[in-house]
Structure 1
């Protein structure tokens, strides 16, 4: 019979320990604090400020990259026309020389693509002129998204002008 009492006593003791543990857990959760609404709003405001600074910076970086791509395409077209002229495959009478003509002659792999639309340029040509007094040849490149001249990215730019823009 003593064993039964002893077992009964253990049950009471374990129940008391469990109650104490539960009480401690409740006290811990009572003192546990979360984020307040003001703290969450402060974080959102800070993220908004960071976004307001970052978005325009990224936009100007993309625009700058597109301008550099136009300049690189123009230089490629200009150099191809210069090689074709020096080789005798085109003459000043052929001016303006289109990118398609340079592709056909094998001086370009393909008509350059507009980095903004990812289509080929509608206007991609090089004008060649020779100064009669100095025999200096001038190459002027024009690139645009419309061949009517309304949406030109680069109009009659020489190599030195393009190099100045890319530096």
Structure 2
């Protein structure tokens, strides 16, 4: 009985150094492939977020110009936030929206530029 217990205790099972190094190499290869792809996904998300922010500011500016009859044809994000057309957010970039009216057709054009 005692010999049987010693045999069980001495029977060590585990991974060899070569097996562990093989796993590390495989994980490194997977990371080398995945990290640039994830970086591109994050970059695309940031670009899309900025486009959506611009669209939101442009829509708010159009509402501003419809409701507030002002001789000034420019409005900034700060103005829109102060007048309640946009919710105040710290991470929002500052833009300026300009309204240009064509005198012949009467059509209004809005342009958005970084402020």
Same fold (TM over 0.5): yes
Q: Provide the alpha-carbon RMSD of the alignment.
A: 2.2
Instruction: Tell me the number of residue pairs that the alignment of Structure 1 and Structure 2 aligns.
Output: 115
Tell me how far 1:83 sits from its aligned partner.
Answer: 0.8
Call closer, same or farther: CA 1:30–1:80 in 2, change over 3 Å: same
- Aligned partner (choices 105, 126, 129) of residue 100 of structure 2: 129
Q: Is the 8 A contact 1:74 1:142 kept in 2?
A: no
Distance 1:104 1:30 in 2: 77
Gaps of 5+ in 2: none
Tell me how far 1:90 sits from its aligned partner.
Answer: 4.6
- Aligned partner (choices 88, 92, 97) of residue 75 of structure 2: 97
Local SS of the residue matching 1:133: coil
**Residue in 2 that maps onto 1:107:** 85
Instruction: Extract structure 1 runs of 4+ deviating beyond 6 A.
Output: none
Tell me how far 1:109 sits from its aligned partner.
Answer: 2.1
Distance 1:22 1:134 in 2: 103
Local SS of the residue matching 1:94: coil
Distance 2:69 2:54 in 1: 18
Tell me how far 1:31 sits from its aligned partner.
Answer: 4.6
Q: Is 1:41 matched up with 2:12?
A: no
Gaps of 5+ in 1: 1-20, 148-167
Distance 1:28 1:100 in 2: 75
Distance 1:97 1:74 in 2: 13
Q: Which has the higher contact order (CA 8 A, sep 6+)?
A: 2
Tell me how far 1:29 sits from its aligned partner.
Answer: 4.5
